[in-house]
Structure formats: structure tokens, C-alpha cells
A and B are shown apart, each in its own frame.
Chain A
Amino acid sequence: MKNLFDELNKDYRFKEGFHTCINCGTCTAVCPAAEFYCYDPRQIVSIVQTKDDQKIEELLKSDRIWYCGECMSCVTRCPRKNGPGLVIMALRELSIRLGYFVESEKGRQMLPLTHALTGNILNYGYCVHPKSFKWEDHKESGPVFKWHLEHLQDSMARLGANYDGDGPGVLRRIPKESLDELKAIFDVTGGTERIKHVEQCSAKKAKEMGMTDEEYEKMAFEYCSDKHFNN
């Protein structure tokens, strides 16, 4: 096993966001994730600061590193210029790289997230796109959005969008040559490899849990046990 702290230290987010922590708890006081989940960014930074590989490995396999919303509110307020949110990003990166993410309920969400977001980027050139936005999975978008999606072409035209059209404008179709460039960027920078890696680790875990890939992905997207909450 590589030295985990040294591995973290190679990450630019870690280099930027990890300095001596005085355990003041300011980050936890302003953190929206700590509001909701059993989560304490102070404790995360404190554990990493011990440089104890066993404790860091436990973190990488736990739900705790997946609670943060990456809002970066903690970055503004830390008196020591730490960025617990940035430390979290580095921990997540390492957890994914080592395949530890499949060991926690929240970590397993990497599969549906990866499919949804990288799928949108590579297929459409957007992070979010109406063609993959299923209202049934987003009932909070309300009856107004259901109506909008049911009349998508007409509603978009009324709103002055260039939906799926050529040339510039709102929600224009991204030209094929631009999508090809995005794919090439994914290939060159490890984005494509990352997708495959998440899929492979997830498939192995699904088998171990006695599930099909589809059952595993659905569970990761929808299931929430009650152990995560603050109250």
C-alpha cells in the first residue's frame, strides 16, 4: 500500500487547501452539510492531519467524505486558510482511484452520477440537458416543468431559445466537431479511463452484493438509509 498521505499531497486541491488546522470548528459552524448529515469537516481535516494511514483509509471507505456539497463556504472563513472542501475533493479523488468508493453507500453513488453527468457532456456538450432530464426522477421541478417538458419545442421557441438548432443561442445543438473535441479531451486527460474505472469497480461490487448492474445503479441513485442524519 502506498503512503496515503503522500498520495493526497500530490493533489493540487490538497496543496491549496491543507495547512495546519487549529481545530477551531469554524468550518463546521458554517457548513451546510454539517447542518444535515452526521458530518464534521473539522474532524476530517483533523484526521488527515494525523497522517495516520489506517485512519485515512477508513475515511476513504466511509460515507463521511461524500457528505460535503463543495460549496466552499468553509474556505472563506477558516482562520488558517484551509479549505476543508478542497481536502474533501482530494480524498474523494483518492477513494475513487483506489476503488474504495464502492465500500460506502454514498460512495456507490459515483456510478449513476458519472453516467448522468459525463453522459450529458459527451452526448450533448452540456452538463444538464432536457433530453436526459426525466421528470419522474425530478418531481420537485414541479408541474410547471412537466408542462414545459411536454411542450418542449414550443415552450423553448416562446422563450426565445434556439433549442437543438444551428448557430448560437440558448440550448443550441453543439456541433459534432465540438463534441468530438470533448471526447478527445476525455481520452487524453484520463476522463474516459475514469468512467471505465468507476464502471468496473461498481460491476465488481454489484456482483459481490448479488445484484445486476441495473439494480445496483438504481439502488445507488435512490436508496438512502437512515444512518446519515444529524437528527
Chain B
Amino acid sequence: MIYEGKQKIWSDYQKEIPDDHWYYVRSCIRQNFFPASERMFTEITRNVLGKDMYETPFHTTCGGIAYHADTIPQETVMTIVARQFALMTEAGYENYCPSCITSFGNYAEILETWREFPELEARIRENLWKACRREFNKPKYLAHTSDLIYHWREQIREKAKHLLINRETGEPLRIVEHIGCHYAKMFPHKGVGGAEYPYVLAGMVESWGGEVIDYPERRHCCGYGFRQYHVKANRGYSVSNTHKKFESMEPFHPDAIITNCPGCPYFLDRWQYVIAEQTGKTYGRNGYGIPVFTYEELAGLVLGYDPWDLGLQLHQVAVEPLLDKMGVEYDPKAKYLGLNKEDLMKPEMPSSIKCC
């Protein structure tokens, strides 16, 4: 009975994802903290999978973070988004894919609000015309970039150099999937699998040979909370919620965490470092943490890219335990080198958690 119920929910939340011709918009957070992930997304989609992934230099932030920190009015964020849609329309595209989950939620919320209140959409069209002399069509399809990697996961598997399998034991690696709250919590039908059983990351993990871990706080927020991180006085909120998740997943011994929101991997990585420095506690084995990845990074490892081309040196929690388990070859001495092997010195090492 329960299984049938799940099947029913699952069939309600299938999502149509066109196979090509996407208009790509970048994420403020991902560009700042995981710059190589965005580069890898265009590399994989364009050069490995041969897809049309168009980007214009004229697009900007969607304003989502400022909006959810309550610093800009709703009409301001809506008009910024309307301008983004106008750029898409002018470029001749109708499939829109943002790299950010806050953006994805923002676009989903705005399109739904306009559907319900057409007079508001009309006002935003006027605003955009007054401010920028632009007009727009709404996207026909909206997908997060993780939806696209999910959609192409089997093609990636076909080209895989490494799988999410422990090469010593032959066992599937145990992976925690963490979905950004704004992916589907507000509009479950906009996400692959809905809010309760999202399959977007679980699908990648399974296709690439891994095993997904279920644990009590699987759906708990990473603790970003917008103003709860951006204001220094509030950051205890952020680290406390990450702490709750790690305490909950620890008994299941995850080998790695995969995320689709650009903020979550930053918080899950950096707060592990802070927890270790403050309390001495680490969640992996032998003084290591649990490595946290973006889906682009994991796809890149599966496809055989060099870990340092994927930007894994920007993580504070060492990624090497997962690389070793997967059998990924890497040069430890090259980790912090610049272009053309230029010496950029090395970061200081934390005292309580291993970084290499």
C-alpha cells in the first residue's frame, strides 16, 4: 500500500525536460564559492554532451538573495526577473535554466504569482518598459541545472571513467543527497520527484553506481537562512542547523554528500570546519570530515576530469578520501598550483580537521 502511495506521488511529480536549446543564467553564490563547477557545467553540457547552452554577458543576479533577506521590494525582484526573461526572449530561447536554487525558486514563485494575479504581471511589464524599454515572453520550460544533469545522467554514465563504487570492496559508495529548500518545498510540482521524495540527485547517485542514504534529518535545511548568515550576529543559526544534520547522518557513515543548491555545499563544508575547530569533532574517519560536492563536481569526477580542474582545492573539508575510494588519480602536489603550475603558496591547514 505504502509503496503504491509513493509510486502515485512519484508519478504526479514527473517533469518534462526538453533535451536541448537552453538559455543559461549563472548563480551569484556558485560563481563566488564554486567557480569551477559552473565552468564544468558548460564544459560537460556543450563539449561532452553536445548541447546548445546559451549565455549572454548582459544577464545579472536575479536579486533572489536580496529579496529573501527582505532588502528589496517584491516589485523590484520581479522586474529584475522580467529583464532576465526579456534577454532570453531577445536571444530567441524559451527553455530557461538557472544555476542557483534560490533563483529557481524565485522564478517559480514569480511565474506562479503572475499566473494567479495577472494584474501584477501587467504592472511588472509596465515597470520593465519604463526602466529598460524591454518586453518579454515567459519561459516555456523552467528547469534547474541539476534537472538537466539528472536528465542526461545515463549519457554521463555511458561515458564514465569512475563510478561511485568503492574500488577496494566493490560496494556502492554511500551518499547523502541534500536538496536546496527552494528547489521544491514551495512548489513541489516544479521539482523532479516533488518535495517529499525528490529524485533529482538520488537519480544521479543511483545511475552512477552509488547508494543513497536515508536519515532522519534528510529534508532539514542546511541553515543558510539568508539574513541568518549574511549578518554576523546571526550565524549561530546557520551552524546549529548544519550541526543537527551532521549529528543525524553520522551513524549512517556517508562517504560523501551531493547537493544541488550552491549555498548548501558551502555551508555543509565550512560549518564542518567550524564545528571541528570549536569542538574537535569530525564526522568522517581518522580526523577527516565528510566531503561535500556540487553535482557538477561529482559528474566531473565520474567523467574522469582532474579534481583540481574541478576546483576541489577550494573545499575546506578534504575530498581525498572519496577520490581514493573511487580510484580517481590525482597529484597531491598540484592541488594548490595556479595556471601553468605557478606557485601560489598554500593555505594554512586547520588544526582539527584534515584538509588534504
Contacts and interface: CB of A to CB of B under 8 A. Distances in A.
A146 B347 contact: yes
Given A127-B66, A140-B271, A36 B231 contact: no
Contact of B26 (A83, A170, A221): A170
B70 A96 contact: yes
B225 A223 contact: no
Interface string A97-136: 0000000001001101110111011000111111001000
Contact of B63 (A121, A175, A177): A121
A167 B117 contact: no
Nearest to B114: A12
A35 interface: yes
Contact of B241 (A32, A166, A184): A32
Interface in B151-207: 181-182, 184-186, 188, 195-196
B32 interface: yes
Contacts of B311: 159
B354 interface: no
A166 B56 CA distance: 11
Please classify the interface of chain B as helix (H, G, I), strand (E, B), loop, or mixed, using the class held by over half of its residues: helix
Contacts of A144: 313-316, 347, 355
Interface stretch (A47-55, A66-74, A200-208): A66-74
Contacts of A220: 231, 233
B75 interface: yes
B231 A221 contact: yes
Contact of A16 (B58, B116, B181): B116
A117 B71 contact: yes
B230 interface: yes
B65 A194 contact: no
Interface residues of A, number: 91
Contacts of B235: 140
Contacts of B83: 181, 185
B274 A140 contact: yes
B216 interface: no
B223 interface: yes
B132 A185 contact: yes
Interface in B47-74: 55-61, 63-66, 68-74
Of B66, B71, B80, B127, most A-chain CB atoms within 10 Å: B71
B interface residue count range (under 10 / 10 to 19 / 20 to 34 / 35 or more): 35 or more
Interface in A35-75: 35-37, 66, 68-73, 75
Given A140-B270, A144-B313, A127 B223 contact: no
Nearest to A195: B71
Nearest to A88: B70
Interface stretch (A1-9, A18-26, A149-157): A149-157
Contacts of B117: 12, 15
Interface in A171-209: 171-172, 174-175, 177-179, 181-182, 184-191, 194, 198
B215 interface: no
Of A112, A121, A127, A188, most B-chain CB atoms within 10 Å: A127
A213 interface: no
A121 B73 contact: no
B337 interface: yes
A110 B39 contact: no
Contacts of A194: 71-73, 76
A87 interface: no
Contacts of B40: 160
A129 to B, nearest CB: 7
Of B225, B227, B239, most A-chain CB atoms within 10 Å: B227
Contact of A127 (B64, B78, B231, B339): B64
Nearest to B70: A92
B280 interface: no
Interface in B259-308: 270-271, 273-274, 308
B54 to A, nearest CB: 9
Contacts of B138: none
B223 A117 contact: no
Given A12-B120, A70-B226, A185-B83, A128 B32 contact: yes
B346 interface: yes
Contacts of A36: 236-237, 240-241
A5 to B, nearest CB: 19
B350 interface: yes
A125 B61 contact: yes
Given A72-B185, A140-B273, A182 B60 contact: yes
Contact of B70 (A35, A89, A160): A89
A210 interface: no
15 contacts: A15-B117, A32-B221, A69-B221, A113-B231, A121-B60, A125-B60, A141-B270, A144-B315, A145-B314, A159-B311, A160-B39, A166-B57, A189-B79, A194-B73, A223-B233
Given A71-B224, A113-B71, A118-B71, 16 more contacts: A69-B227, A72-B182, A73-B185, A76-B185, A96-B70, A109-B234, A113-B70, A121-B60, A126-B32, A126-B60, A144-B355, A151-B345, A159-B35, A159-B39, A160-B39, A221-B232
Task: Please provide the 6 A-B residue pairs with the shortest distance between their CB atoms, ordered closest to farther.
Answer: A69-B225, A147-B347, A160-B39, A191-B76, A184-B131, A142-B316
